[in-house]
Amino acid sequence: MPRQSPALTKALNGSCAIARCLGVLDDPWSFLLVREALLGRRTFAEFRDSLGIASDVLSARLAKLVEADVMTRTSYQEPGQRTREAYDLTPAGRELSAVLIAMKQWGETHVPREAPAKVDARGRDGESSVTFQLVDEHDVAVPADEVTFVRS
Amino acid sequence: MPRQSPALTKALNGSCAIARCLGVLDDPWSFLLVREALLGRRTFAEFRDSLGIASDVLSARLAKLVEADVMTRTSYQEPGQRTREAYDLTPAGRELSAVLIAMKQWGETHVPREAPAKVDARGRDGESSVTFQLVDEHDVAVPADEVTFVRS
């Protein structure tokens, strides 16, 4: 699997917090693996079958997410089976839900599809839909297309 | 530049809205280019110099963002110079600020660095900091680490 160019490694290192997040989620598979984990998938086979990802790529991506403390790996054994490994999101990994919800809302608005496969974000009760809002220091909603960035 | 494997193309196509957003922002450079555009950079040279990205990679990434309607390309000419091109975020591109703000808050919390380079998000007045919150259907704040996803 091709990895980062030296220029990209430099752009992601020691830099702003956006880049530091990208240093952890550095290809689309990583985001999709977090999505699948938030959907309740835990085992290597579950991730592989739901995403259609090659086993070697999956191994490398899961190892990186474990190393970055986004997931933890635990061993388990079912009777008569060999030992297998399960992957669970850490609290930090679960908090990536915010990034995925922001992406979901953008994709729904700007890359519409007929009859799309749908993923909904739910709160602790499993019932209420969760949405993403931007707010200013006074808790007033800010439209995303009015935001600018500044270096400070 | 290595492009998507067939497995990844399949995972990103016709799928959930998160994957559709990842189909547009399919490598870390694309996110960083949107960040730089939100910081006010417009020209090829500005993007290249601020990110240290190779020219051929930059050309390909900008072309993809234009094709996806995240940026528009316009030609301009300064006296005595050849025609050059500038890139501006579309309204859809500006709305990616939401995704980057979610990544920034995650990076600040979970990948801390001493003396990091800092990017702040600001509202229309240029003064007020913008942050995100997750809310349920009753407008009650939901901690990001309590969110689960469901297919519907």
Q: Which residue has the higher pLDDT, B62 or A2?
A: B62
Lowest mean pLDDT among A1-5, A80-84, A111-115, B148-152: A1-5
Q: What are the pLDDT digits (tens) for A20-52? A: 999 999 999 999 999 999 999 999 999 999 999
Binning pLDDT at 50, 70 and 90, where does residue B1 land? very low
Q: Which residue has the higher pLDDT, A114 or B38?
A: B38
CB-CB neighbors (< 8 A) of B144 in chain A: 94-98
CA distance A98 to chain B (A): 6
Tokens encoding B42: 């417009």
| pLDDT tops 60 at residue B68 | yes
Q: What are the pLDDT digits (tens) for B120-143? A: 999 988 888 999 999 999 888 999
Task: Kindly report the three-state secondary structure assignment for every residue of B34-95.
Answer: HHHHHCCCCEHHHHHHHHCCCHHHHHHHHHHHHHCCCEEEEEECCCCCCCEEEEEECHHHHC
CB-CB neighbors (< 8 A) of A9 in chain B: none
Flag if B116 and A14 touch (Cβ within 8 Å): yes
| pLDDT tops 60 at residue A2 | no
Question: What pLDDT shows up at residue A105?
Answer: 94
Q: Which residue has the higher pLDDT, B122 or B117?
A: B122
Q: What are the pLDDT digits (tens) for A45-82? A: 999 999 999 999 999 999 999 999 999 999 988 899 88
Residue A152 CB burial class (10 angstroms; 0-12, 13-18, ≥19): exposed
Contact (CB, 8 A) for B79 and B69? no
Contact (CB, 8 A) for B1 and A8? no
What lies within 8 Å, CB to CB, of A67 at 6+ separation is: none
Tokens encoding A78: 């079912």
0.80 surpassed by pTM: yes
Kind and range of the H or E run holding B108: helix B97-110
CATH number of A6-146: 1.10.10.10
3-state secondary structure of A126: coil
- Percentage helix, strand, coil for chain A under 3-state DSSP, each rounded to 5: 45, 20, 35
CA distance A132 to chain B (A): 5
Proportion of chain B above pLDDT 70, given as a percent = 97
* pLDDT average, residue stretch B96-111: 95
Flag if B130 and A136 touch (Cβ within 8 Å): yes
Question: What pLDDT shows up at residue A1?
Answer: 42
Q: Rounded to whole angstroms, how far apart are CA atoms A9 and B119?
A: 19
Flag if B32 and A18 touch (Cβ within 8 Å): yes
